[in-house]
């Protein structure tokens, strides 16, 4: 059976619990979700093209064509020894039920360059990565309302996962892809290589349904994993609204208690040029997502219920500086990516988020921004 012919989001499948299903072997698991599984060579069913859609840990993600239907797909190879490959396939396949997650259509278990691997056939996302799209938007400036709609879609995917006690733990712009080449198309989350289920030991019996587990049953470490997703969303939202990140990882150096205190008090800036016309509601929401204290940070449900997200149509359509800033300094985006990657790595390793506020950063990008401001005769501003 293949995922092409099935609507994976039928009502009864929405109710299949990951915890219950994950006990099953992979073929049974995938079958229950309407996803094809085969040990044959992938080329029997798909024609591989030379079109590279992106680069992953195990090489390129390439476009493929389904021989029977002519439909396009994207092939990703997951080497079995890398990460927890079966769990990655299961979590991604399970999350495919959400409309804001890239769908898996077929899975092949096979050998690639003498190494056992899984080959994932996903729906093809020709719209590409979120920030590439924003960077390349030349004709129209994205507006605050566009940003709210983008964040609502990301939130929808994250809420689907958190409701089922799954943390993604790798929320970054490269893992957010557009289904088509226009802004109206759906934005979807992908790459479940770091995702994990955060149910408590003892509750992981097949009859326990984690969907209904209240957040209080999760211990601090478990809540931390989900809360990190909200933190990452806060960083993405900040970058979406201005084109540069709020603060920078400290490349592994520990930070002084005084610095930690400042960060806890939310000492990062909303520089006037980009932020003065942005609504207070948006800035307030960012502050609540970028609260360093996990216990005070909002959760995904509060995010989704906040007026900025719940009433997207009422968000002002103020044009943003995002595309201009990203285009003006081509290194800026790459640097933002590197900084997010290092912050995510730090968050996954331990509970201490090592971050610096803009004022104290020695980061090249920030130095350049400060320099530019000095040249323009304006002192860096704090809010
Ligand atoms: P890895 O887990 O190895 O990092 P990803 O799943 O993140 O691999 O994919 C790497 C890149 O390939 C993505 O950032 C994206 O640019 C591209 N890509 C992944 N999946 C698709 C898809 N379904 N359609 C189009 N491009 C994709």
Cβ of 174 closer than 6 Å to ligand 1, yes or no, is yes
Q: Which atom of ligand 1 is nearest to the CA of 53?
A: 26
Cβ of 132 closer than 6 Å to ligand 1, yes or no, is no
DSSP H helices, the chain, are 11-14, 18-21, 26-32, 85-95, 130-135, 144-163, 220-242, 257-264, 272-275, 280-289, 300-305, 307-310, 322-328, 330-349, 364-375
Q: Which atom of ligand 1 is nearest to the CA of 125?
A: 24
Burial class of residue 118 in the structure, from the number of CB atoms within 10 Å of its CB (0-12 exposed, 13-18 middle, 19+ buried): buried
Cβ of 85 closer than 6 Å to ligand 1, yes or no, is no
Among protein residues, the one whose CA lies closest to atom 7 of ligand 1: 191
Cβ of 95 closer than 6 Å to ligand 1, yes or no, is no
Among protein residues, the one whose CA lies closest to atom 6 of ligand 1: 191
CB atoms within 10 A of CB 351: 12
Q: In angstroms, rounded to a whole number, what is the distance separating the alpha carbons of residues 142 and 145? A: 8
Cβ of 125 closer than 6 Å to ligand 1, yes or no, is yes
Residue 101 sits at the vertex; the CA angle it makes with 295 and 150, to the nearest 5 degrees, is 70
Among protein residues, the one whose CA lies closest to atom 12 of ligand 1: 54
The residues pairing with 197 across neighbouring beta strands, listed in sequence order, are 166
Among protein residues, the one whose CA lies closest to atom 23 of ligand 1: 124
CA of 218 to the centre of ligand 1 (A): 31
Count CA atoms closer than 13 A to 245's CA, side-chain side: 33
pLDDT at residue 224, rounded to an integer: 81
Cβ of 133 closer than 6 Å to ligand 1, yes or no, is no
Concatenated DSSP letters for 86-147?
Answer: HHHHHHHHHHTTSTTBPPEEEEEEEEETTEEEEEEEEE--TTEEHHHHHHT--SS--BHHHH
Cβ of 146 closer than 6 Å to ligand 1, yes or no, is no
- Mutation to probe ligand 1, out of 191, 340, 345 (largest number of atoms < 8 A from CB): 191
- Mutation to probe ligand 1, out of 57, 58, 61 (largest number of atoms < 8 A from CB): 61
Cβ of 190 closer than 6 Å to ligand 1, yes or no, is yes
Cβ of 177 closer than 6 Å to ligand 1, yes or no, is yes
The answer to whether ipTM exceeds 0.90 is yes
Structure tokens at 269: 């800036």
In the residue annotation, 132 being an active-site residue is answered as: no
CA of 241 to the centre of ligand 1 (A): 24
Q: In angstroms, rounded to a whole number, what is the distance separating the alpha carbons of residues 118 and 302? A: 37
Which residue in the list 45, 170, 229, 250 is annotated as catalytic? 170
CA of 129 to the centre of ligand 1 (A): 9
Q: Which of 246, 306, 317 is nearest to 279 (CA)?
A: 317
Q: From residue 381, how far is each of 22, 48, 263, 275, 291 by CA, in Å?
A: 51, 52, 17, 12, 21
pLDDT at residue 16, rounded to an integer: 61
Provide the 8-state DSSP code for 319: B
CB atoms within 10 A of CB 260: 16
pTM of the model: 0.82
CB 243, CB 321: distance < 8 Å: yes
Structure tokens at 281: 């509601």
Written as tens digits, the pLDDT of the chain (383 aa) is 455 544 444 434 455 667 777 778 999 999 999 999 999 999 999 999 999 999 887 778 999 999 999 999 999 999 998 768 999 999 999 999 999 999 999 999 999 888 999 999 999 999 999 988 887 766 568 999 999 999 999 999 999 999 998 999 999 999 999 999 876 799 999 999 999 988 755 444 333 334 444 444 556 666 788 998 999 999 899 999 998 888 654 444 434 444 344 445 556 789 999 999 999 999 999 999 998 788 889 999 999 999 999 999 999 999 999 988 888 876 777 777 777 777 777 777 644 444 444 444 455 555 666 666 666 654 444 33
């Amino acid at each position: 059976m293949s995922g092409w012919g099935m609507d994976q989001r039928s009502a009864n499948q929405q109710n299949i619990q990951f915890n219950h299903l994950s006990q099953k072997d992979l073929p049974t698991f995938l079958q229950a979700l309407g996803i094809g599984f085969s040990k044959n060579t992938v080329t029997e069913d798909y024609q591989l093209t030379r079109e590279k859609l992106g680069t992953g840990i195990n090489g390129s993600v390439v476009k493929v064509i389904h021989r029977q239907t002519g439909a396009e797909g994207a092939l990703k190879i997951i080497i079995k020894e890398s990460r927890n490959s079966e769990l990655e396939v299961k979590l991604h396949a399970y999350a495919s039920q959400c409309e804001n997650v890239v769908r898996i259509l077929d899975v092949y278990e096979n050998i690639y360059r003498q190494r056992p691997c899984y080959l994932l056939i996903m729906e093809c996302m020709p719209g590409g990565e979120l920030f590439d799209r924003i960077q390349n938007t030349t004709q129209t400036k994205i507006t605050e309302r566009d940003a709210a709609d983008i964040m609502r879609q990301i939130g929808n995917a994250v809420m689907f996962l958190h409701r089922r006690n799954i943390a993604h733990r790798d929320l970054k712009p490269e893992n957010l892809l557009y289904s088509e080449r226009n802004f109206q198309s759906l934005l979807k989350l992908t790459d479940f290589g770091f995702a994990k289920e955060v149910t408590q030991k003892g509750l992981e019996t097949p009859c326990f349904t984690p969907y209904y587990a209240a957040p209080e049953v999760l211990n601090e470490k478990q809540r931390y994993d989900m809360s990190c997703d909200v933190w990452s969303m806060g960083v993405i939202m900040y970058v979406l609204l201005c084109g540069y990140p709020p603060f920078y990882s400290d490349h592994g150096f520990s930070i002084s208690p005084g610095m930690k205190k400042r960060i806890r008090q939310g000492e990062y800036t909303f520089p006037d040029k980009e932020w003065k016309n942005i609504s207070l509601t948006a800035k307030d929401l960012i502050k609540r997502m970028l609260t360093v204290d996990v216990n005070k940070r909002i959760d995904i449900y509060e995010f989704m219920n906040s007026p900025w997200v719940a009433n997207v149509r009422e968000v002002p359509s103020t044009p943003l500086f995002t595309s201009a800033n990203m285009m003006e300094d081509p290194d800026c985006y790459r640097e933002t990516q590197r900084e997010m990657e290092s912050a995510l790595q730090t968050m996954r390793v331990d509970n201490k988020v090592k971050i610096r506020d803009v004022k104290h950063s020695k980061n090249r990008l920030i130095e350049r921004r400060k320099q530019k401001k000095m040249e323009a005769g304006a002192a860096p501003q704090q809010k």
